[in-house]
Amino acid sequence: MKRTSNNIHDARARWGTLAALAVVIALIFPGNHARAKAEPQLIFEAEGQSHVKNNNFMRGRALAVDYAFKNALEMALKDILGRSTFRSQRKTLKKMLRHPKKFIKQYRYLEMYDSPVEQLSRVKLEVVFFPEAINRELSTQGILSSLVRPRTALVLILEKSLSVDAQPEFWEYVPISEVAMLQKFLAAGVKVTPREKISELVDEQVVLDAIQGDLDAAVDIGLKARTDIVIVGTAVTTQVGNRTAEGLTTIQANLTLRAVSTTQSTIIAARSDFASVNSQEEFKGELQAFEVVGKKMAAFFLGTMTRFWESKTETAGADTAPPPSPGEIVPQTPEAPGPSSPPPADSTPGFLEDL
């Protein structure tokens, strides 16, 4: 949707009218909100080569493809885990690297070269992985749990205001319902990850995918934020009925959220709720309604997260938490894939409730 400069100016002006909450937002989310950069996808270009025995180039080519698969999976794991974690977990990851095909969605040849003189085959592939398959295996191996801070939460809400004609970009504002939830979490002793910490790491489209129900996108956000639980969803306001004789209008805010465990790649809770507020000014009524429903939802998810963390503690023992990561807010109170047809040799082709 195209927005005029006047519409954008008016929208931002309306969002800035609530001075008190602006102070709270500034305290929780210091600094400017930079636009997100493009996020690497699980698509990698990798090369592989193999020596040829007895002029059996078909066999040599197959081995070269296998080596390319392994190299591509290494790239994917380094992208997900980070290079330091990949090195420290190399022994644990050996099993995955021995069987890369089970994680590959598809691949295609970019280059293929057979050398009768050197007696070798070389290939270059574009490999696309199944993110959920990799995350599931990493979770089974217990590696994902080492990447996130225990008992941490991240809340990302797409908030749409009835009184704003041109909605700001996702990273350009902090929703009132989101702030209300984080305040409750901090007061209850839950460590929270501010959205500013990940605004430059996660593309806006990935967040929107997570909000629309993409589990893999939510897990990916949690891994990049090093956060145990990611809560995503939407908030929207509507006007109920007509203005009263006293000039009051009823504004209803609806909030729909679900919580995802980063380490287990599962939805642990989902809920929808609403709050209604009577106000003479539509915009102020919206802000109050967003705040009320945010606090209601925070109470529900606090109970859900507490039960989830207690169940993990019972099965795995008490958490031994590492020092807080930079940017984290700590509360002061307690099957083998099928390829495309290979190119000719020596060619370079173009290219819920609580569950």
Tokens for 301? 């998810």
pLDDT mean over 274-283: 87
pLDDT score of 118? 87
pLDDT mean over 93-118: 91
- Residue pLDDT, tens place only, 22-42: 333 333 444 333 333 334 468
Give the pairing of strands 249-261 and 191-192: unpaired
pLDDT score of 337? 54
pLDDT mean over 115-139: 88
pLDDT score of 41? 62
What whole-number distance in Å separates Cα of residue 7 and Cα of residue 301? 35
**Strand order across the beta sheet in which 120-129 lies:** 43-51, 120-129, 104-115
Q: Report percent pLDDT > 70 for the chain.
A: 76
Topology match between the domains 43-140 and 148-316 = no
From the list 157, 161, 156, the residue with the least C-alpha distance to 285 is 161
Q: What is the DSSP string of 13-28?
A: HHHT--HHHHHHHHHH
Average pLDDT, the chain: 79
SS3 of residue 150 by DSSP:
strand
Give the pairing of strands 104-115 and 43-51: unpaired
pLDDT score of 8? 42
From the list 229, 232, 227, 244, the residue with the least C-alpha distance to 204 is 232
Give the number of other Cβ atoms within 10 Å of residue 91's Cβ: 7
pLDDT mean over 81-99: 87
pLDDT score of 339? 54
- Residue pLDDT, tens place only, 188-213: 999 999 888 888 888 899 999 999 99
Give the pairing of strands 191-192 and 227-240: unpaired
- Give the residue with greater pLDDT, 144 vs 25: 144
Q: Quick check: 138 pLDDT over 90?
A: no
SS3 of residue 117 by DSSP:
coil
Domain residue extents for the chain: 43-140, 148-316
Residues 6+ positions from 167 with CB-CB distance below 8 Å: 11, 160, 161
Does residue 317 contact residue 306 with C-beta atoms inside 8 Å? Answer: no
Own/partner contacts of 37-42, CB < 8 Å, gap of 24 or more, are 37/200, 37/201, 37/203, 38/203, 39/201, 39/202, 39/203, 39/206, 39/220, 40/79, 42/76, 42/79, 42/128, 42/129, 42/130, 42/131, 42/134
Q: What are the Cα distances from residue 353, in Å, to 14, 258, 259, 271?
A: 34, 8, 10, 5
Fold topology of 43-140? Thiol Ester Dehydrase; Chain A (3.10.129)
pTM score of the predicted model: 0.62
Q: Which residue has the tokens 């636009």?
A: 35
Tell me which H or E stretch contains 323: none
Q: Quick check: 110 pLDDT over 90?
A: yes
**Strand order across the beta sheet in which 266-279 lies:** 191-192, 149-160, 227-240, 249-261, 266-279
Give the number of other Cβ atoms within 10 Å of residue 343's Cβ: 15
pLDDT mean over 227-245: 89
What confidence tier does 85 reach under pLDDT thresholds 50, 70, 90? confident
- Residue pLDDT, tens place only, 216-231: 889 889 988 889 999 9
Instruction: Give me the sign of the Cα torsion angle 25, 27, 30, 36.
Output: negative
Q: Report percent pLDDT > 90 for the chain.
A: 42
- Residue pLDDT, tens place only, 294-347: 999 999 999 999 999 988 766 554 444 444 444 445 444 334 455 545 555 544
pLDDT mean over 132-140: 81
Does residue 230 contact residue 214 with C-beta atoms inside 8 Å? Answer: no
Bridge partners, residue 149, by sequence: 227
Q: What are the Cα distances from residue 203, in Å, to 78, 80, 135, 223, 326?
A: 19, 15, 19, 14, 20
What's the burial of 251, exposed, middle or buried (CB within 10 Å: 0-12/13-18/19+)?
Answer: buried
* Listed range (72-76, 156-160, 163-167, 187-191) with the worst mean pLDDT: 163-167
- Residue pLDDT, tens place only, 252-270: 999 999 999 988 889 999 9
pLDDT score of 102? 92
Q: According to the CATH classification, is domain 148-316 in 3.40.50.10610?
A: yes
